Structure 1
Amino acid sequence: MPSSARPADVPASGWEAVVDSIGPKVHALRRERGLTLQQLAHLADVSTATVHKVERSDMVPTVTTLLKLATALDAPIRHFVETGDTGSLHTRFAGADTTALTPDDPATRLRGVATRVEPGAETAGRRPGETLLLVLDGTVELQAGDARYTVAGGEALHVRSATGVRGTNPGDAPADVVWVTIAEG
């Protein structure tokens, strides 16, 4: 049922809250990625009208459509169906264990995350704005836009990014990394 079918003074609960949050999450990630409705529709192989209706919560996407959108937005499907933070997306890849250092408060622009990245694994912070990365131990190779960096234990890196920062651990030992991001305001 679209969120507009429920009276404004009746709060969403249970599954309704999850369904109501899908559209705004798709919209927010599309904007963070700098994509138009048409570009996202093309990447996801769905119609522009479908993306528009999903974002406005005028339709609930099928599982297949949601999987296509999640893949096109480079986000785990759980981001769209879990309650909680909608502003920051620190993705957890196989071999990367992430712990939040700050509360999941969509009203704040500052986020802190600690990540242990196993050898060969990837991690990413997808929150356009400024990122301060501190590698406590190990080595991480990072990509922010077209720029590439190698940051070793005890070193820090500050980057501005419109698309977030992606990192890999090229070493033989785990890398411990602290990410602090300030979203574009």
Structure 2
Amino acid sequence: MTAKDEPGAGAELERLIGEIGPRLRALRRARGLTLEALSAETGISISILSRLESGKRRPALELLIPLARAHGVALDRLIAAPATGDPRVHLRPLRRRNRNRDGTVVIPLTRYPGRLQVFKQVIAPCPRRVVAHPGYEWLFVLAGELLLVLGDRELTLRPGEVAEFDTAEPHWFGPAGDHPVEILHIHGTRGDRPRVRARPSAPASPGDG
């Protein structure tokens, strides 16, 4: 007997599907968004969004995936699937607002007090505010362009590029232009600097072999 054949499985599925619409409405309202604003952000029409939230349209993956991305939540949080013994921790994003009302999203990927802290960040355009503090940081650009101000230097990092620096040096980082930038951000104490145990093999010279 499969899960679909079990008594009550169909009713449980319908209950889960029926809860998605109110959950979508609650997420949108928590962000202070209108249906028009969410439509502009996701490309999904206002009428479809309204029918999803009211339960008049059955949710499909091609609709739920862009909505999960827009709200900065895991897809299973929209579906609220039952626990299956999965040991992974689904961390909730922290949404910050700046004066321009564009959101900066910070998703903590680790919870290790006193050790390396790892974040995924989507940084919206914001004013520069140079800071200095104890520690050491690594920035890896995933999408967009990152402007790093380090002392009297300015560096523009593109996807796939990495910067590491001592945070005792005055610094600031944010989008290099008018669009958000997505990065991995690692922060640790000065003693947490990585010890490289393996490096790419040097390419063979033409005369080798």
Pick the TM interval, shorter chain: 0.3 to 0.5
Q: Rg larger in 1 or in 2?
A: 2
RCO higher in 1 or 2 (8 Å CA, sep ≥ 6)? 1
Task: Give the TM-score of the pair, scaled to structure 2.
Answer: 0.40
Which structure has more strand as a fraction of its residues? 1
Task: Give the TM-score of the pair, scaled to structure 1.
Answer: 0.45
